[in-house]
Every structure is written in C-alpha cells, then in structure tokens.
Structure 1
C-alpha cells in the first residue's frame, strides 16, 4: 500500500513538539526520598502503650487513682493509642 506524503510543516511541528517534551523530561527533578526511619520507632510504642493501658485497666484499674477516676474512658484511651499507632504505621514504606 502506498504511503501518504507528510507535509513539511506538519513534520516540523511534530519534531518541535518532541523536542519540547524531551526538554521537559530532562528538567523534571525527582523528589528526594523521604526518610521514614522514625515510623517504626513511633508506632510500635503506641501499639504497646495502648495494649498495656488496657491490660493495666482491666487488672488493677480500681486500685490506681487516676484510672479509677476515668472509669470506662480508659477503654477509649487504650483504643485511641492503638488507632494512633495504626495511623502512623500507614506512613511506613
């Protein structure tokens, strides 16, 4: 099958467009990698603190003055600590 002729103007426009795209690719800078080494150091203690809070509340909550005053809010505090740990854990790559 015969090939159609390319008009000189269209060919020049296509080449110019390709040059612009190539220059854009060269000028694009890659973002510096983010250091997330702090994430496991934060989320593991948050999880453990939440679990420990609940264990202490269920075992000796009536004998600890601060926990006794909070009552059932201790469950919410423990769950929030664990949820915060989960939220931080999602940042880990």
Structure 2
C-alpha cells in the first residue's frame, strides 16, 4: 500500500502561537469598588422603597423605584462576570 505524503512542519511557529490563548488582562483598579458600590446602592434603594411603601427615594416614581434599584443591582452583578 502506498504511503501518504507527510505534512511539512511550520518553521516560523505561528501556528503554535495562534493555538495558545492570551492571558486575560486584569481588571482596572476601579472595577471592583464600582461593582460593590452599585450592588449596595441598589440594595439600599430596594430596602428604602419597601420601608416607605414606594414614596422614597423618588416620590413620583412609586413602585418604579423597585425596578430602578434592581436594575442598579443587576449592573453590579453583571460587572462581576468581567472581573478578573
């Protein structure tokens, strides 16, 4: 049976460099404090809304204050996905 041709080896090493993933960059120094601050502000906003029955932090918004508080917390939690 005839032998198949042998592949030529890549001599410049570009194939091995492309195969290895780059090391992830660390997060900036402000990332973690901002993330934690957003989660705490959102939590405080939700608690204040429950305790005041929707009249605070912004009286005209009513129960939309809950959605805003949860939204702020959600932004903080999504920031944890990119934290290194």
Does the TM-score normalized on the shorter chain lie above 0.5? yes
Runs of 4+, deviation exceeding 3 Å: 4-7, 25-33
Q: Name the structure with the higher helix share.
A: 1
Q: Deviations over 1:10-33 (max 9, x none)?
A: 35xx3xx21x26532466597464
Root-mean-square deviation over aligned CA pairs: 3.0
Select the residue among 10, 13, 25 that pairs with 1:34: 25
Aligned equivalents of 1:80, 1:58: Cα separation in 2: 16
Select the residue among 49, 52, 70 that pairs with 1:57: 49
- Maintained 8 Å contact 1:39/1:89: no
Give the count of matched residue pairs. 81
Distance 1:92 1:21, change over 3 A: farther
Aligned equivalents of 1:32, 1:90: Cα separation in 2: 17
Whether 2:76 is the aligned partner of 1:85: answer: yes
Query: How does the TM-score come out when normalised to structure 2?
Result: 0.69
Aligned equivalents of 2:23, 2:36: Cα separation in 1: 26
Q: Deviations over 1:61-84 (max 9, x none)?
A: 53x5x6211101000001001111
**Structure 1 runs not aligned, ≥5 long:** none
